[in-house]
Structure 1
Amino acid sequence: MKILVKQIGEYKKDTIITPIFTVLEVVAELLVPYVIAALIDQGIEAGNLKNVYLYGGAMILLAFLGLLFGVLAGRSAASASAGFACNLRQSMFENIQTFAFSNIDKFSTAGLVTRMTTDVTNMQMAFQMCLRIALRAPLMLICSMAMCLLINAKLSMIFLAAIVVLAAATTLIMSNAMKIYNHVFHRYDDLNASVQENISALRVVKAFVREDYENEKFTKAATKLYELFVRAEKLEALNMPVMMFIVYGCVLAISWFGARFIVAGSMTTGNLTSLFSYVMTAFSSLMMLSMIFVMMTMSAASGRRIAEVLREQPGITNPASPVDLVKDGSIDFDHVSFSYRQGSGEKTLSDIDLHIKSGETIGIIGGTGCGKSSLVSLISRLYDVDSGSVRVGGEDVRNYDLETLRNQVAVVLQKNVLFSGTVMDNLCWGKAEGYMDEYRNACRMACADEFVERLPKGYESWVERGGANFSGGQKQRLCIARALLKSPKVLILDDSTSAVDTATDTKIRKAMQTAIPGTTKLIIAQRISSVQDADRILVLDNGRVSGFDTHESLLKTNTIYQEIYEVQTKGGGDFDNQ
């Protein structure tokens, strides 16, 4: 709760004044039936026109004040709740940006999307309800009960008995509905996951003609959500009939006994009229309280899910006195072991001991799942090792300022992402403020200039979200250019030329050898032709070093490398499929 309350922030003023306006609104509304009773008894029935005008004017004034305070309360509640929701989303987004990959692994992407949309919306509605109805309803209920007792204590006993019965029935209905709502948000995650997966892979879906399968999967998730809501709302639907039965029974009883009191002279017509008004106000307040109960139940589940994200501490943080200078591109793995789930006993990398000189070009090859991408993820400290240490520039990566380290270790993934904007906007991710010649030179080294300059608007051409209007090879080349603009000490190409032809791949490697000789280059590839000219080649097998030498030496001494070479040069196949 403390974590969520902190998000009110600069909207404290609106949060405080809303209850004040609400109380004033309730007071004005509660006085109206009391004035009506005086109008009837002392004005109309007494034939006193002066009192009719007096009490009539008082009614108009109270109605106006109630309306004014209601409008002011509504405006301040809307401002406070919208601001609260805005701060929640902002805080969640900012905290997610600090997450290490190990943190992100705990939450599914669809789950995070649900928390930042549906869950925050629920919290916004609940917060506004707390400021307005959650205060107004109990206050109206208590004050109405007090006024009923003040008017006629005996008749009020009927009303109080009805309130107790209605409260018990409402609690029973809502407690059962609450259990169902607790499951709803997990189904929202499933639904969002289905939508996200389908849209992001729409081309694949169409290529394999799997639209019917995806429709069926989405329908299944939507149906589960529908069934839960129907079950909950069937229970909620009982609220109104139960309430109306009790209300009508109460009204009939009060009418019967009230008429007898009027005939006996112990009660006036005006008093009975105002008593009816207070009774109906109390019953409607009780119904609002039942709605609040449902809303609070739903928002409590949402609040817990949001708090989980806000409480999550980054798995990787800066040290107390971080090093802010990477001296060179040398890389040392000192008996490193790593697993994605620490303590599970499933090692992704085991006893990796490597020493790479600054400026070297290192090829990395091996079968799928051998740990190639995991190995290079440790260099930029996307994950921390279980044991051993990784050093860059002679310094343990855990001692560096994270921004400094990651600026000097550029990574180009096989499925790198382009963002919506222009080509230049995307290149600026590598260097925000540079000269045009620098951008052109980076594109030239990545062989991206040949298609960028043919675009209608060149570097100002629009890039759709995810680079949807570019081919796989074009996206990879733009991502390589973006990484080169960082002028890194270490450049990691994680199978990032897989979508370009062999000739372009060769051009890119030769351009980098010439243009950035002092940068250490790690090239992960499936094709031996992409790494055979490297200074040394690392062969990984099941998370262990199988060989680390030149192309010629590995052909003589390493069985795995020999097999890959034989398959690719003579069989024309792919090692991963052997």
Structure 2
Amino acid sequence: MLKLAKFLKPYKGLIIAVLFFVFLQSFSNLYLPTLMSDIVDKGIVNQDIPYILRIGAIMLGITVVAVVFSILASFFSAKTATGFGRDVRKTMFSHVETFSLQEFDQIGAASLITRTTNDILQVQQVYVMILRIMIMAPMMCIGGIILAVSKDAMLSLVVIGAMPFLIVAILAVMRKGMPLFKLIQTKLDRMNLVLRERLTGIRVVRAFNRSEFEEGRFQQANRDLAETAIKVNKIMAVLMPIMMLILNFSTIAIIWFGSIRINHGHMQVGDLMAFIQYAMQIMFSLIMLSMIFVMVPRASASAQRIHEVLNVTPSIVERENDGQIKSAKGVLTFDNVTFSYPGAERPALTNISFIARPGQTTAIIGGTGSGKSTLLKLIERFYDIEEGHILLDGKDIQSLSLKDLREHMAYIPQKPAIFTGTIKENIKYSQEALTEDSIRRAASVAQATEFISRLEDGYDTVLTQGGTNLSGGQKQRIAVARALAKESHIYLFDDSFSALDYKTDALVRSALKEEMKEATVIIVAQRVSTIIDADQIIVLDEGKMSGIGNHKTLLQTCDVYKEIVSSQMKGEGIA
């Protein structure tokens, strides 16, 4: 948690204000028992009513002032802690945005969500308590001890003797609870993962009647989390009764020995009452500290998980001298490229070499798992290659800034990403400054105009999360329109027409050919009909190039391609 304290630097002024008001509040609370002692010893004993009223009014005034100080301290501490939480979330989100897909795969989306929300909230709540209670409690404890000793040094030995028992109880509970709090956050990750899969895959779950199975998975994850939470709360629940027991026995001892000292004339009744108040303040200060120590282990576990994310060094790092391409042409060259996913037994791509030129369409085809989509991800530099070079207009893409590299490209993923918002906002996502005419033109080329015009609100139709109120083909056409609106030099289509019927597929490809005469187009496809007219077709088989050429050439020279064409001719009537 101390490492996260750097995020509190912008709030030094507020922290000083909290310390100031907490000090004044503590001083006010410590002064009240002394005034009460004076009322008893001087006012009640001497039956001096005016003195009682005067001191009582002073006590009332000090109480009101203490309440004001408490409100101000709470306000500034809450403002500091919430600002801290906001800054950490912002920093964490910005850092996660720099991750390559490798880091996302390593940590997991569900865990990143938990760490960005729940974990930061845990630390934020503890900082609120630290700024208020952890500062006030030592002040009250030390001040209470000093004033208790000033009232009767001998009687204060009772309080001092009770303190080691309280400290031992707190440390014992912390030792048991710390590992469990860390385990809670891990189990919360698991529950979020199961819940996320259940909700995002609701159609598949219901289609296969697996609701009961998924409920069982969630109940198991939920039960594990609940059992761990119950276990740790049982441990923490022991602390309060132990502390109250020590507190009550201490009070009995103070009254017992205090009455003896009063009887021998070493102490007055008012002083004993004040001493009891100071003893309560000392004990309650320790109890407040124990509350902090109860929350600190879980917050420490959360802080550690936050650090794990912030300390991750992205595998793809931009150097300060990364260059730019001022006037891109779009010539893309693969030179003996080899790439393996982390932990994979064999490379996903091996010795891939080809050139994709402007004004040409390069198609990539192959069986499942042959590395087609991986190849496009390497062009966008979602992953870095192990061997070889990928060149854009003669420059290695690793020497270019990521922003500049991706500025020249438009990427349509295999699974269309539809964001919550209107159709217009989804198309404009690639370029915010698009005009209405540009949006409609992009939609027209993507053959999306027809179904958009049938919608009641047209381009202002609100799409749900993931575009669940659209069909698969409609989502793909929106994604294609988004890419076209960007007007890039290189267009990467990752099986982006798979959900389209043959007629719409043909119309889209015909319109794209006319639209992108000067652009470099790379299409990954499963269907031969989609890429049959491509200028060059790259055939991949288990991550290796089995052939390159146009449709006619490959039919004569590539056995893998002939098998693909043959199988689709039987199944789909491809000529």
The whole-number CA distance in structure 1 between the counterparts of 2:482 and 2:324 is 25
Deviations along 1:282-310, one digit per CA (max 9) or x if unpaired, are 11111111110121111111111112222
Shift of 1:69: 0.8
| Structure 1 partner of 2:148 | 148
Aligned pairs (5 A) from 1:74-153: 74-153=74-153
Distance 2:403 2:322 in 1: 14
- 8 Å CA contact 1:379–1:409 kept in 2: the answer is no
- Find the counterpart in structure 2 of residue 183 from structure 1: 183
Report how far residue 426 of structure 1 moved: 0.9
Shift of 1:434: 2.8
The answer for the alignment partner of 1:49 in structure 2 is 49
Q: Which runs of 5+ in 1 are unaligned?
A: none
Segments of structure 2 that go 5 or more residues without pairing to the other structure are none
**CA deviation after TM superposition for structure 1 residue 535, in Å:** 0.9
2:412–2:479 contact (8 Å) kept in structure 1: yes
Residue of structure 1 in register with 2:167 after alignment: 167
Residues 447 and 508 in structure 1, CA contact (< 8 A), matched pair in contact too = yes
What does residue 338 of structure 1 align with?
Answer: 339
Within 2, Cα distance between the matches of 1:511 and 1:248?
A: 85
What letter is aligned with 2:175? S
- Measure, in 2, the Cα distance between the counterparts of 1:496 and 1:477: 8
User: Which whole-Å CA distance do the structure 1 matches of 2:282 and 2:160 have between them?
Assistant: 10
- Partners of 2:93 and 2:469 lie apart in 1 by 28
Q: In the TM superposition, what whole-angstrom CA distance separates every residue of 1:160-204 from its partner, at most 9, and x where no partner exists? A: 111211221222123212221121100110011111111111111
The residue correspondences of 1:497-516 to structure 2 (distance < 5 A) are: 497-516=497-516
The DSSP-based 3-state class of the residue aligned with 1:154 is: coil
The Cα offsets for residues 521-555 of structure 1, whole Å up to 9 and x where unpaired, read as 11111111111111111111111111111111111
Distance 1:9 1:40 in 2: 48
Aligned to 2:36: 36
Give the root-mean-square deviation of aligned CA atoms.
1.7
Structure 1's 161 and 336: CA in aligned 2 closer, same or farther, altered over 3 A?
same
Task: Write the deviation string for residues 30-87 of structure 1: whole angstroms up to 9, x where unpaired.
Answer: 0100111111101111222343233223212221221111111011111111111111
Inter-partner Cα distance in structure 2 for 1:113 and 1:464 = 20
- C-alpha separation in 2, matches of 1:573 and 1:294: 69
2:149 and 2:8 mapped to 1: Cα distance?
39
SS at match of 1:227: helix
Select between 159-168 and 494-503 the one with higher mean Cα deviation. Answer: 159-168
**Partners of 1:158 and 1:16 in 2: how far apart?**
35
Report the AA paired with residue 93 of structure 1: F
Q: TM-score, normalised by structure 1?
A: 0.96
- Secondary structure of residue in 2 paired with 1:238: helix
* CA–CA separation in structure 2 for the residues paired with 1:549 and 1:315: 34
Code of the residue aligned with 1:237 in structure 2: it is A
Structure 2 partner of 1:25:
25
Aligned to 1:329: 330
Q: Which residue of 2 aligns with 1:462?
A: 462
- Name the counterpart of 1:553: 553
Could you list the per-position Cα deviations for residues 457-509 of structure 1 after superposition, in whole angstroms to 9, with x for gaps in the alignment?
A: 21111111211111110000010011011111111110111111011111111
The answer to whether the 8 Å contact 1:489/1:519 transfers is yes
Q: Secondary structure at the match of 1:105?
A: helix
Query: CA–CA distance in 2 between the matches of 1:201 and 1:433?
Result: 35
- From the superposition, tell whether residues 554 and 298 of structure 1 become closer, same or farther in structure 2 (CA, over 3 Å): same
For residues 368-396 of structure 1, what are the alpha-carbon distances to aligned partners after superposition, in whole Å with 9 as ceiling and x for unaligned?
11111111111121111111110122221
SS in 2 for 1:432: coil
- Tell me how far apart the structure 2 counterparts of residues 542 and 116 of structure 1 sit (CA, whole Å): 38
Matched ranges for 1:151-550 at <5 A: 151-319=151-319, 320-325=321-326, 327-341=328-342, 346-550=346-550
Paired AA for residue 327 in structure 1:
A
Residue 345 of structure 1 deviates from its aligned partner by 5.9
**How much has 1:350 moved relative to structure 2?**
1.1
CA distance in 2: counterparts of 1:499 and 1:166, whole angstroms? 68
Change (3 A) 1:450 1:3: farther
For residues 166 and 321 of structure 1, the distance between their equivalents in structure 2, rounded to whole angstroms, comes to: 60
* 1:326 Cα offset (Å): 5.0
Structure 1's 512 and 3: CA in aligned 2 closer, same or farther, altered over 3 A? farther
Query: In structure 1, what is the Cα distance between the partners aligned to 2:75 and 2:328?
Result: 57
Q: Which amino acid aligns with 1:223?
A: R
State the SS of the aligned residue for 2:545: strand
Q: Is the 8 A contact 2:328 2:408 kept in 1?
A: no
Q: Distance in 1 between matches of 2:516 and 2:572?
A: 33
Alignment partners' CA distance in 2, 1:286 and 1:435: 65
Conservation of the 8 A alpha-carbon contact between 1:324 and 1:401: no
State the secondary structure of the residue aligned to 1:546.
Answer: strand
* Aligned length, in residue pairs: 573
3-state DSSP of counterpart to 2:454: coil
Taking the aligned partners of 1:272 and 1:432, their CA distance within structure 2 comes to: 74
Give yes or no for the alignment of 1:565 onto 2:551: no
DSSP 3-state at the match of 2:383: coil
Change (3 A) 1:335 1:111: same
- Offset at 1:321? 4.0
The normalised TM-score by structure 2 is: 0.96
Paired amino acid for 2:458 = G
Against the structure 1 CA distance between its residues 33 and 460, is the aligned structure 2 distance closer, same or farther, given a 3 Å change threshold? same
| Structure 2 counterpart SS, 1:353 | strand
After TM superposition, the structure 1 stretch with the greater mean CA deviation from structure 2, 95-104 or 286-295, is 95-104
| Aligned-partner Cα distance in 1 for 2:7–2:197 | 32
TM superposition shift of 1:15: 2.0
